[in-house]
Amino acid sequence: MDKETMLNPEEALNRVVQSANLLPPRTIALRDACGLTLAEAIVAAADCPPFRRAMMDGYAVRVADAGRTLPVVGEIPAGSVWDGELAIGQCVEIMTGAPCPAGTEAVVQKERVRRRGNQATLPVSIEPEQNIAPPGSDCRAGQRILDPGATVTPLAIAAMASFGIAAVQVVPRPTLGIITTGGELAAEGRPPRQGQIRNSNGPMLRAMAQLQGIQDPRQLHAADCPELILQALESMARLDIVLLTGGVSVGTYDMVPEALIQYGAEPIFHGVKQKPGKPLLLARKNRQLIFGLPGNPLACHLGFHRYVAAAIRKASGRAAMMPRSRGELAQAMRPKGGRTHFIPGRAEYATGAPASWRVEVLPGVSSSDIFRGCRANCYIELPPGEQTLEAGSTCFFTWFDGLPWGA
Amino acid sequence: MDKETMLNPEEALNRVVQSANLLPPRTIALRDACGLTLAEAIVAAADCPPFRRAMMDGYAVRVADAGRTLPVVGEIPAGSVWDGELAIGQCVEIMTGAPCPAGTEAVVQKERVRRRGNQATLPVSIEPEQNIAPPGSDCRAGQRILDPGATVTPLAIAAMASFGIAAVQVVPRPTLGIITTGGELAAEGRPPRQGQIRNSNGPMLRAMAQLQGIQDPRQLHAADCPELILQALESMARLDIVLLTGGVSVGTYDMVPEALIQYGAEPIFHGVKQKPGKPLLLARKNRQLIFGLPGNPLACHLGFHRYVAAAIRKASGRAAMMPRSRGELAQAMRPKGGRTHFIPGRAEYATGAPASWRVEVLPGVSSSDIFRGCRANCYIELPPGEQTLEAGSTCFFTWFDGLPWGA
């Protein structure tokens, strides 16, 4: 990492997105597909509705019988079929969703018919085809209803389920491994020895992965020794994305860059002009993407929020870039000279004229301070510069994934 | 359901939120708590950092030694402790995150020290306490870091993990049951007989529940017969929320209201001045909330989106109401007289001056048409009225849950 080759945060994000690979499609059960990206076009297999469907509870009739009193010759609950053909001088009671018998010219809704025993008196005016949905009126056989790249939403699941589609080609989510490093971290579940602290990045990154739909990332801890880090990397060689935390700056004990060379990974960048998280590192081995995230919890969180999440979205076939939201600063802020500053904030919807997102800064004294920041729901983006931004001025922010709308 | 007692959509939503009960808190493992609502205050159990922490890789020194050349008497990797006391005329190499030895007055960063073998030459100016984070500087023991009601975010998990908190009191998500009704629905996995259609509401509601974090809702199908619906209800008597689909209007075969009376549920409302989904029904038995959703897929979808999701949020201790977003209509729209119209739409971020959400209407010919709507990512809310809204006019919309930002 040196100052000459450090990227600005926009270039770094672009490199991440360029370097991430779209995963090959896989066929999975429709019931497991919600939230994933379609890798195939979905075409209607049949007309929907498949038959002339009654749209109201009422009577299937011939138009010529308007105003007359007729015998009710049958009853068709939804799901049943009346096999006869409806003749002039007859009517059949029919329920919403049921198929109209042959010969039906209109369905007259129940409220407009006077029923006495087996006799029904029809209204004087009946429009041909009224209250009948013709076959294919919702969707014709052969019609393309979803394109590759579409998100499988609950509505899309309903549409596919109505054609009997039980499995679907999607882009899967990437597999993910998390390797925490650092001799200062106490073993999981053990009280820290003197000079040690507990591992907070591991549980945090696992939760962030879960919010991206990656339920069970692999997790390992490696002390600050290149051999152990290399061993952990090799055990995760088949995963799509690997995150390392800690050991990415240039201290004597920052072993991650060294281990990555031994592992055979090709460096893509090391160092981003941002605060926190300047020593962010990206490398690649074959199709595997490897992030070296800083050990400071807030810098580590920003690294996942801004960069790892974009790689996951790209790999999953989603739009990699998140649009930024616009808000109004609740208090004045000073930029950090030459670096873009990402500050945990809390955006709340302020009704007013015009209504807007009011963004409060949750200041952390250092990038290791996650305590004042843990009420945050977004990152405020403060561009480099010298001039103080006044309270009330416009700022850009990005929502924490999975927790939008001021959760 | 009659026109006199029909609620407007705002009243109906208020009734849902009033009727839903906040669930009693439960203690769960921190690793399973992401996204849930805290039911207890979290207080820092110890100072963080717990010791005087070096903030840079460098040398622990005495201020009086500025400008001098000294022997390096030790080395402290992160996680290790140097037991001696640092005397004047000595310095110790120290890594970021390591505890400063007793006697340390400042940490001088590596780059400012000339090292030759075992000798280090210090810079001429050294500020007392520079590059040292005092104990408790991130967070003091006893400081309240999270309040009841806060969402357990990944940052909150990191903060709690750093105090060794392994289990936490949260408001759980409600348990949910889904009962589809209707004789027209083919049995799961079977091709529909003549007059039948496939069940699309069941898979759709299951996916919607999953996006609310309810992984495994119970699902049953009951034909249009009050006894079978009652049986299904009784088998779900211990669940927090039960959804019924279909059978809620006033046709001869609309058996849900009848079954609910037999079940002993108290009706709260039946009928909302909205399109689609006018016959929406809400009932309660003890602490259980029961929704009768219309059988039309789009009306069923809206019913979950607008009402069931609000009940789930309330029960889970989250803010029940979702703020509406403001957008710009891509095309002209006609209101539906006396009913609020909820139309599946697609909001896309339009950069411009000012940038805004451009909302395209995805028209459905009927509330059963989910095919044109399955690219939607939001509901546009068109208030009752007579006047056409022109293209470019302001509209309100709500994002589909779990799929914000144009997914």
pLDDT of residue B102: 96
pLDDT of residue A5: 81
In this prediction, residue B405 carries a pLDDT of 40
A219-250: burial string, b at 16+ Cβ within 10 Å, e else: bbbbbbbbebbbbbbeebeebbbbbbbbbbbe
Residue in A78, A159, A377 closest to B374 by CB = A159
Preceding amide of A77 cis, omega within 30: no
Closest chain B CA to residue A200: B158
Q: State residue B406's pLDDT score.
A: 37
> How close is the nearest chain A Cα to the Cα of B28, in Å?
15
Q: Could you give the CA distance from residue B183 to residue B222 in angstroms, rounded to a whole number?
A: 8
Task: Flag whether pLDDT at A354 surpasses 90.
Answer: no
Residue B203: φ, ψ to 5°: -60, -35
Whether residues A194 and B81 touch (CB distance < 8 A) is answered with yes
* pLDDT given at position B315: 97
Peptide bond into A267 cis (omega under 30): no
Q: Given an 8 Å threshold on Cβ–Cβ distance, is B198 in contact with A161? A: yes
Measured CA to CA in angstroms, residue A14 lies from A148, A243, A277 at distances of: 24, 18, 17
Length of chain B: 407
d(C-alpha B323, C-alpha A406), whole Å: 9
A386 exposure class (CB count in 10 Å sphere: 0-12, 13-18, 19+): exposed
How many Å apart are CA A127 and CA B33, to the nearest integer?
59
Identify the DSSP state of A304.
Answer: I
* Inter-chain touch B198–A163, beta carbons under 8 Å: yes
Q: What is the 3-state secondary structure (H, E, C) of B16-64?
A: HHHHCCCCCCEEEEHHHCCCCEECCCEECCCCECCCCEECCCEEEECHH
CATH code for A26-47+138-171?
3.90.105.10
- Closest Cα in chain A to B321: A405
Cβ pair B95:A34 closer than 8 A: no
CA gap B141, B50 in Å, rounded = 9
For all residues of chain A together, what is the average pLDDT? 91
Q: Which among B96, B163, B207 is the nearest to A157, CB-wise?
A: B207
**Average pLDDT, integer, range A348-377:** 76
The CATH topology of domain A53-133 is: Molybdopterin biosynthesis moeA protein; domain 3 (2.170.190)
Q: List chain B domain ranges.
A: 3-23+173-315, 26-47+143-171, 53-133, 325-399
Strand-pairing partners, residue A348, are: A358
Are the CB atoms for A373 and A395 separated by under 8 Å?
no
Decide if A187 contacts B152 (C-beta within 8 A): no
Which fold, B3-23+173-315?
A: Molybdenum Cofactor Biosythetic Enzyme; Chain A (3.40.980)
CB A35 within 8 A of CB A213: yes
Q: Is A102 exposed, middle or buried (0-12, 13-18, 19+ CB in 10 A)?
A: exposed
Q: Where is mean pLDDT largest: A289-303, A353-367, A387-401, B362-376?
A: A289-303
Q: How many CB atoms lie within 10 A of CB A326?
A: 15
pLDDT in tens, B342-374: 999 998 877 766 667 899 988 654 556 788 878
Q: What is the pLDDT of residue A251?
A: 62
3-class secondary structure, B378: strand
**Contact partners, residue B353, CB within 8 Å, separation at least 6:** none
- B407 to A151: CB separation less than 8 angstroms, yes or no: yes
Amino acid at B373: G
β-bridge pairing A106-109 and A144-146: unpaired
Using a CB-CB distance cutoff of 8 angstroms, which residues of chain A are in contact with residue B196?
79
> Which pLDDT does position A323 carry in this prediction?
81
Cα–Cα distances (Å) from B368 to A127, B84, B364, in that order, read 22, 78, 8
- N-terminal to C-terminal alpha carbon distance within chain A: 37
Question: What pLDDT is recorded for position A325?
Answer: 85
Please indicate whether, in this complex, the C-beta atoms of A97 and B133 are within 8 angstroms of each other: no
pLDDT of residue B11: 97
Assign A337 a pLDDT band (cuts: 50, 70, 90): confident
d(CA A310, CA A62): 61
Task: Work out the average pLDDT over A27-31.
Answer: 97
In this predicted structure, what is the pLDDT of residue A330? 93
CATH number among 3.90.105.10, 2.30.36.70, 3.10.580.10, 3.30.360.10, domain B26-47+143-171: 3.90.105.10
Architecture per CATH, A325-399: Beta Barrel (2.40)
Would B3-23+173-315 and B53-133 be classified into the same CATH topology? no
Residue B355 is nearest to which of A110, A252, A326, comparing CB atoms? A326
Does A163 score more than 60 pLDDT? yes
Q: For residue B172, what pLDDT is reported?
A: 96
Residues of chain B with pLDDT under 70: 1-3, 250-253, 352-355, 363-368, 403-407
pLDDT for B407: 36
